[in-house]
Amino acid sequence: MPQMKTALTSLTLAAAFMLSGCDLLGLESPEKIAAVKEADGKAIGGACRHASRAIEDCYALNPKALRAAVFTGWREMDEYMRENKLEGITPQVAKGPAAGKGEAEAEEKPAVKEPAKAGSTKPTAVPAAAKPKA
């Protein structure tokens, strides 16, 4: 019985030792998470500069990104583009989140006029733009 206990203890310790360096468990260290956030911020900043966006617009479009990392990526891309005489591209989406809200609300609630049923006595509403001003 004591041999079984020692074998089980040593097996448990060996398994814990081997799994301590394993990244497959989904347990990430704070250093790794910080490195990922830093890399994401640099990528966002570089993409913003390549899209000819101002750094302020980049901050507004990506509020969760680390500002220092975004600025570093923006600055590095700016230096790279100046050294290689590259021009930025024109962004294809709206510049701010406020510009997209009005369009999204308009798409969600389209003004659809239902046809009147035959024999219906209820008048249909006329849009405000079509009403004559008195």
Tens-digit pLDDT profile for residues 88-113: 888 777 655 555 454 444 444 444 45
The total number of structural domains in the chain stands at 1
pLDDT tens per residue, range 24-79: 667 788 899 999 999 999 999 999 999 999 999 999 999 999 999 999 999 999 99
Q: Are 57 and 96 in contact (CB under 8 A)?
A: yes
- At residue 76, the 3 state secondary structure works out as helix
Find out whether 58 and 48 touch, Cβ atoms under 8 Å: yes
Evaluate whether residue 108 is within a structural domain.
no
Share of the chain above pLDDT 70, in %: 60
Instruction: Supply the pLDDT for residue 1.
Output: 64
Tell me whether residue 73 is in a domain: yes
Instruction: Rank 15-19, 100-104, 119-123 by mean pLDDT and report only the highest.
Output: 15-19
- Is residue 133 in some structural domain? no
Domain boundaries, position 81: 28-93
On whether residue 123 sits in a domain, the answer given is no
* 41, part of any domain: yes
Asked if residues 46 and 19 have their Cβ atoms less than 8 Å apart, the reply is: no
Tell me, yes or no, whether 17 lies in a domain: no
Does residue 60 form part of some domain? yes
50: amino acid identity, one letter? H
Is residue 72 one of the residues assigned to a domain? yes
What is the enclosing helix (H) or strand (E) of 99?
Answer: helix 97-108
